[in-house]
Chains A and B, each alone.
Chain A
Amino acid sequence: GQNIDQPTEMTATEGAIVQINCTYQTSGFNGLFWYQQHAGEAPTFLSYNVLDGLEEKGRFSSFLSRSKGYSYLLLKELQMKDSASYLCAAMDSNYQLIWGAGTKLIIKP
């Protein structure tokens, strides 16, 4: 079956770095997405990886290893506004997104 695993909740300190891991199993693979979702709002796009390696975009970076079925989202210089849920989603061979349950990130001062 198809499955996405990511931690339910993580806590980090303002100004620090946090890494949110995601493992996936899909029928075929057409890329891995990370979305940020604040409570009561729709998700917003953060990153897309389809090739192995690290993609850096400002304070946020995303890594993919296709052979390991593994990705992580790295957030640097954490700010209070980064408190949100982070959703990992993998696109299968039919271009359908398989969603993880999301990781709730709590930032403490």
Chain B
Amino acid sequence: GAVVSQHPSWVICKSGTSVKIECRSLDFQATTMFWYRQFPKQSLMLMATSNEGSKATYEQGVEKDKFLINHASLTLSTLTVTSAHPEDSSFYICSARDTLGTSGRADTGELFFGEGSRLTVL
């Protein structure tokens, strides 16, 4: 299947600092990428939908000024957690669909997930 790469896998930072997480589609172009947060023993929670060349769409309750999303190209979306605090510690996962079929496969609606980034804020 199509490949999505996420970096970094693990990050530990001090409270008040900012952390950037990258999500790349390696073998297809993605006009839309999704950012999720997952707390221990809970399901995925959609934070925002990242749209290439336009503003991200945030879910209710997600602060857009705190979680900055940039989707500058068809293969890269970034999530920046600004002024991180311990309560932001979580597993952040991105995903994308190959809606353009650029991987050579028809779009079945399947989401391709990055490996996830575990953020720990001290």
Contacts and interface: CB of A to CB of B under 8 A. Distances in A.
A105 B44 CA distance: 17
Nearest to B91: A40
Contacts of A50: 109
A95 B91 contact: no
A22 interface: no
B115 interface: yes
Given A40-B91, A42-B93, A42-B114, A100 B43 contact: yes
A101 B42 CA distance: 6
B85 to A, nearest CB: 22
A40 B44 contact: no
B61 to A, nearest CB: 16
Given A40-B91, A40-B118, A45 B42 contact: no
Interface residues of A, number: 20
Contact of B113 (A43, A100, A102): A43
Contacts of B43: 87, 99-102
Q: What 5 A-B pairs are tightest by C-beta distance, nearest first?
A: A42-B113, A101-B43, A42-B116, A102-B43, A42-B93
Given A99-B44, A101-B42, 18 more contacts: A30-B109, A31-B109, A33-B109, A33-B110, A33-B111, A40-B118, A42-B113, A42-B115, A43-B44, A45-B110, A45-B111, A48-B108, A48-B109, A87-B43, A91-B109, A97-B111, A99-B46, A100-B43
